[in-house]
Amino acid sequence: MNEHNKNTRIVVIGAGLGGLSAAISLATEGFSVEIVEKNDKVGGKLNIMEKDGFTFDLGPSILTMPHIFDALFTRAGKNREDYVSFEKVEPHWRNFFEDGAVIDLTPDKEAMRKELNKLGPHVADQFERFMAYSKKLCTETEAGYFAKGLDTFWELIRCYGPIRSLLSFDVFRSMDQGVRRFISDPKLVDILNYFIKYVGSSPYDSPALMNLMPYIQFEYGLWYVHGGMYGLAQGMERLAEELGVNIRLNTEVTEIRQDGNRATAICLADGQVLPADIVVSNMEVIPAMQKLLHSTESELKKMQRFEPTCSGLVLHLGVDRIYPQLAHHNFFYSEHPRHHFDAIFQSHTLSDDPTIYLVAPCKSDPKQAPPGCEIIKVLPHIPHLDPNKPLSPEDYLAFRERVLIKLERMGLTDLRKHIVTEEYWTPHDIQARYYSNQGSIYGVVADRFKNLGFKAPQRSSQLSNLYFVGGSINPGGGMPMVTLSGQLVRDKILADRAGD
C-alpha cells in the first residue's frame, strides 16, 4: 500500500460490480475512496427482490471465471471464500429444440461426448476441434487484452504485431462463420452461437473472437453463488467497507464539475458538492456524457460506434409446481435463429419466434422458493429502446404471451396457470433503474464492422482524470469482465500517476 495515495480523493459514481471492484482495487492501493449510488443497495444490475416467499435474483444469473473475483480479494490480503462462496453448476445448461431434442452442455468430457453423439457420429470430433480453436482465441486474449487492459485496435496491433493480431483473432470472420468452420450440425451451431448471450450481441455481426467464450466456460466452470447471486455484491460491499471505502446509497449524481480538461468535483441531487482528485464512473459512458458531462453533439457523435447491446423482457415467475425436466440454466431455441437475431439487431422489432434463456435457480438452491414451488426466470433478448421504432406496453405484453405459449408448447405444461407471483420488466424499467443506454443490458454491442468488438476506452476522451468501468467499456459486459474493468482501471490510474 502506498501511503502517498491517502491524500488522493477518488469518487466512484455507481456501486455496480465495476464500481465496487474499482473502489476495492483503489482502496487496496491506499487511495481515499467514496462510492455514490443512486439506488438503495449496491450491486447495480446484480439486484435482488423478495416477493410472496420467493427470492428473485433480478440481474445476472451465470458466473464464470472465478479467478477474477479471487484476485480482487487476494490483492487486498483476503480470502474470497470468507466473504462469498461459489458452487459449481452441472450440467452447465440444457438445450431444448422444437423437434423434442434435448442436449446438455457438461464439463465431463465423456458425458459431453455422449450428448453430442445424439446429434450424429462426427459431431463430437467437430466439437473437439472447435474447442481447440476456442482455446487459442482465449489464450491470446488473456495474454494481452485482459492482462494489459488494451483499449483500442491500435493498442492491440502494438501489443501483438499486425500479422499476429490478424491471424490470432480470426478478424475477418463473424462469430457464426467461425463456428461453421468446424461445426456442420445446425443444432450445435445454434448452441455455440448462443454463447453470444454473455455480451448481448448477434453472432452474425460479432467478430469471431467471441468464440473464446465456450472455452472460458468449459475451462473455468460455471458457478452459482451460495444463497443467491446477490451474495457476490454483499461480499464485495463488506470488503470495500473493511478497506475504508465510504458508500453513500440513495444519492444521485447530477453533474461532474470540470475545470479545463480535469474533473474537480461531483454534484449531488441534494445540492452537495464532493471534491475529487479522480472520478471513476460506473454509469455507462454515453449516458454519463449526456447526463453528467453535458457533452456536445460532436463529442457524442464520436461515440456512435459504441451502440447499446440488446435489452430483454425479464420475467421472474414464482410457480406453484416443480418442472423436473429443467436444469439450472436452460435455452429454448428459435427454429429460425437468423430471423430472431435480425429482428433484434437489424429491424428493432420483437421476434416472432425468440430463443429463450430460462433460469431455474431452485435446481441448485431450493430455499429460494416455498416448498413445492420454484422460480422460473425467463429472459428473451429484445431490441434496446429505439426512439424511431417505439414499442408500446401492449407490444411487450403480447410478446410475453408469445414467450409463455412457446415454453408451454416445448414442455412446460400449463406454465401460465401455475404462476402465483410475477415481476415483469421491460427495457423502460431497465433504463430507469440503472440509467443504461437505451435500456441495454450488457453495455456496448460487439459488432465487427462498427467497433471490431471493442467497447469504449476506460480513459475519458474529455477529462484527463475521469475513468470508466462497467459493461460499456473494455473488456466488456458480464460479471467477470466488469469486475476485471475495476482492476484494470486501478492499473491505468497507477500508470498515469507514475507518468505525471
Q: What is the pLDDT of residue 144?
A: 83
Say what the alpha-carbon torsion angle 204, 311, 303, 451 is, to the nearest 10 degrees: -20
**Is the CB of residue 70 less than 8 Å from the CB of residue 225?**
no
Question: 228, exposed or middle or buried, with CB in 10 Å at 0-12, 13-18, 19+?
Answer: middle
The Cβ of residue 299 has, within 10 Å, a number of other Cβ atoms equal to 13
Q: Calculate ∠ Cα 452-212-477, nearest 5°.
A: 65
Secondary element (H or E) of residue 319: strand 314-319
**Is the CB of residue 365 less than 8 Å from the CB of residue 228?**
yes
DSSP string, 12-72: EE--BHHHHHHHHHHHHTT-EEEEE-SSSSSBTTS-EEEETTEEEE-S---B--HHHHHHH
Q: What is the pLDDT of residue 45?
A: 93
Q: What is the pLDDT of residue 157?
A: 83
What pTM did the predictor assign?
0.95
Residue indicated by cell numbers 428473451: 380
Q: What is the pLDDT of residue 169?
A: 84
Q: What is the pLDDT of residue 148?
A: 83
**Is the CB of residue 379 less than 8 Å from the CB of residue 313?**
yes
What's the CA gap between 482 and 446, in Å, rounded? 15
| Alpha helices for 169-248 (secondary structure H) | 175-180, 186-193, 213-220, 230-242
**Is the CB of residue 31 less than 8 Å from the CB of residue 10?**
yes
**Is the CB of residue 156 less than 8 Å from the CB of residue 166?**
no
Architecture of the domain defined by 3-87+227-306+447-499: 3-Layer(bba) Sandwich (3.50)
Q: What is the pLDDT of residue 158?
A: 86
Residue indicated by cell numbers 452447465: 92
CA 210 to chain centre: 14
pLDDT in 10s for each residue of the chain, 500 residues: 566 788 899 999 999 999 999 999 999 999 999 999 999 999 999 999 999 999 999 989 999 999 999 999 999 999 999 999 999 999 999 999 999 999 999 999 999 999 999 999 999 999 999 999 999 999 988 888 888 888 887 888 888 887 776 677 888 899 999 999 999 999 999 999 999 999 999 999 999 999 999 999 999 999 999 899 999 999 999 999 999 999 999 999 999 999 999 999 999 999 999 999 999 999 999 999 999 999 999 999 999 999 999 999 999 999 999 999 999 999 999 999 999 999 999 999 999 999 999 999 999 999 999 999 999 999 999 999 999 999 999 999 999 999 999 999 999 999 999 999 999 999 999 999 999 999 999 999 999 999 988 999 999 999 999 999 999 999 999 999 999 999 999 999 999 998 76
Q: What is the pLDDT of residue 43?
A: 95
Question: 317, exposed or middle or buried, with CB in 10 Å at 0-12, 13-18, 19+?
Answer: buried
Domain range annotation of the chain: 3-87+227-306+447-499, 106-222, 308-434
What's the CA gap between 489 and 468, in Å, rounded? 8
**Is the CB of residue 97 less than 8 Å from the CB of residue 172?**
no
SS3 content of the chain, % helix, strand, coil (to 5): 40, 20, 40
